[in-house]
Homo-oligomer: A and B are copies of this chain.
């Protein structure tokens, strides 16, 4: 049995797997191009997802299982996977901590106006101000109340923020003072000083945030997207930032990645662009690999439940 990867899992992890599963052949590559000669025999494939096109799947006649080592599976060729009856699992649940750290970093940087002081330092300017707006008692509206949304809410609570969540049914969730259902989205957005978009990309979330939603947020709102670019109407976002419909935004995910040089977002003073890094940290593989190993045991032994088995119809 051959397990092929298009991502580096680290030498230590590889040594562990080889020792633990001596009958499995692990072929580790850090790029799909390098893996090509082993793809035809691959029974199991570990990938971040974006490289797994329909064409690639056509070169893998023996593939039984894709372990996606990221959370967003939206780019995968679902029809093909479904037709070939391939098992698909991902690593949902491991991004809560790094993304919540990223989101609180963004909110607090905005709060202390950090770039202003960073620029002042370059000209040795000692220029004080005293009307900073604390985040104490402010409201954060988090769209999506899964692992990521909940971890953000937990941290926001330590700053005595009011936490509002939005999920499909409006069901109550830990660390949220109040939750609204998806059909009350605009109402929930209107209450937030900070709005965080965390939802995955599925049919129902495609461009769910458009001009109507930015207008609901209002001119003092700061918007943060760490979910998927296509859940936001990027043209509307650009217009909302340009016309000061909202105050500002930090954007980690985009309709097209890398964000094209032509995008007006790059040059906007009230937008902070980061290159899809909010979920990354040196702890990533330490949290993702145990999920793969658990699933490997289930796959080999046929006992127990897969973690994060993707419903190929729902796509999450």
Binding site for B on A (CB under 8 A): 97-98, 101-102, 104-106, 108-109, 111-112, 114-115, 117-118, 120-121, 124, 126-136, 154-155, 157-160, 257-259, 261, 266, 272-278, 280-284
Contact = CB atoms under 8 A, between A and B. Distances in A.
Please name the 8 residue pairs, one residue from A and one from B, whose CB atoms are nearest each other, closest first: A158-B158, A105-B108, A126-B258, A130-B280, A105-B112, A132-B281, A124-B266, A126-B275
B118 A111 contact: no
A154 to B, nearest CB: 6
Given A112-B102, A124-B261, A159-B155, A117 B274 contact: yes
A285 to B, nearest CB: 9
A112 B128 CA distance: 25
Nearest to A265: B121
A280 B130 CA distance: 5
A312 to B, nearest CB: 29
Given A112-B102, A115-B118, A155-B158, A283 B134 contact: yes
Contacts of A277: 112, 117, 128-130, 132
Contacts of A261: 124
Given A128-B277, A266-B124, A282-B134, A101 B258 contact: no
A117 B154 contact: no
A72 B222 CA distance: 34
